[in-house]
Structure 1
Amino acid sequence: MSSQQNQTKNNKMVIKLLAIVVGMFGFGFALVPLYDVLCDALGINGKTSDIAAVYESIEVDESRWVTVDFITRTNSGMPWEFKAQTQQVKVHPGQLNLVNFYVKNSAATAIVGQAVPSVSPGTAAIYMNKTECFCFEQQTLKAGEEVLMPMQFYVDPQLPKDITYFTVQYTLYNVTASAEVVALNRG
């Protein structure tokens, strides 16, 4: 084989490899929207709205009970104690309910935390309406400070009849560094 043929083969191989790299890069960007579409289609990874619902007196469906479990966890390295005071409630759809969450900052410094909720099964997420929630805003706790954080909610009476149980999980993240950056940019 001549050196010109080798050069042509090498050029073709480089072009193919570059095309693969560009394709992989594009696929990486497409993963997030594809993941969201897949989760929506399968009803998994129930994301709740971070906008407060307005509770207007609606008819409570006293013929149905829905069990709601509350699970709490902190992201690794988050030095806060975090737990639901009530781990499970039975509610009537349309009924306004209040649950409290206990939080204690065990660190020696102030920390800013942000709670992120998810609902399982995901199809129940749109029927979980929070009128007041600590997850709407970042929470700052001084060293050793402990507080009760309320979450007021109602389950929409339009919740499908086959859903009689769902879980709400809150994961607490340490967002101190990003809160400090935002504060510096404002100041």
Structure 2
Amino acid sequence: MSNEQSGRIQLNKKMLGKLLVIAVMMFGFGYALIPMYKHLCEVLGINVLTQQDGTVERPENTQVDKSRKITIELDGNSQGPWRFRPTTRSIEVYPGELATVMYEVVNTKPYAIKAQAIPSYAPQSATPHFMKVECFCFKEQTMAANEARQMPVVFYIDPKLPREVKTITLSYTFFEIAGASTASR
């Protein structure tokens, strides 16, 4: 083996080492992106579309705080071929009190459609205190042709809600899941 070939082999080994280090660093960065993204979104208060819905259990020792009432304003927006609205515009609840509100959706098309609802809350500081026990937003909804349906949201407001928050707006956007209609149009 000549000195020239030996030199190339050494250079190739050095390059392979550098490439392996870069590949490991890229993998580590990609792995770290998910928690960094979640933390950044929490800190900045963006992309707070999904709280841990469906996993909230009502604490055993929650006491209803009758010293104050919270007004819950309800809103519904639709992105698709249906009518979607709350059956009432607002309710008053005590923190810790279990409450139920209804939303109504009507598929206005002559074919079945799959849809999903995404909640949002205002003020955003109320989001961690709005505890949903049951909600149609937890899963996809399949609406039959021309079907009308009433869907409940069962929730309570955590008594730890800051006292300055007197009104919370719960808004849902109900949208069609792309490519999920169950019949040809």
What TM-score results when the alignment is normalised by the length of structure 2?
0.71
Q: Is the 8 A contact 2:113 2:180 kept in 1?
A: no
Structure-2 residue corresponding to 1:67: 71
Report the AA paired with residue 59 of structure 1: Q
Q: Is the 8 A contact 1:104 1:144 kept in 2?
A: yes
- Aligned mates of 1:52, 1:155 — CA distance in 2: 15
Structure-2 residue corresponding to 1:49: 52
Which runs of at least 4 in structure 1 moved beyond 6 Å after TM superposition?
33-36
Structure-1 residue corresponding to 2:23: none
1:131 CA drift (Å): 0.4
Structure-2 residue corresponding to 1:171: 173
1:102 CA drift (Å): 0.6
Between Structure 1 and Structure 2, the one with more helix by share is 1
Q: Is the 8 A contact 2:117 2:172 kept in 1?
A: yes
Percent of aligned pairs with the same residue? Answer: 35
Give the counterpart of 1:113 among 90, 112, 115.
115
Report the AA paired with residue 58 of structure 2: Y
Structure-2 residue corresponding to 1:27: none
Gaps in structure 1 of 5+ consecutive residues:
1-29, 181-187
When the two structures are aligned, how many residues end up with a matched partner? Answer: 146
Helix, strand or coil at the partner of 2:149: strand
Helix, strand or coil at the partner of 2:92: strand
Structure-2 residue corresponding to 1:90: 92
- Backbone CA RMSD of aligned residues: 2.2
Structure-2 residue corresponding to 1:128: 130
- Aligned mates of 2:96, 2:177 — CA distance in 1: 34
- Aligned mates of 1:92, 1:52 — CA distance in 2: 22
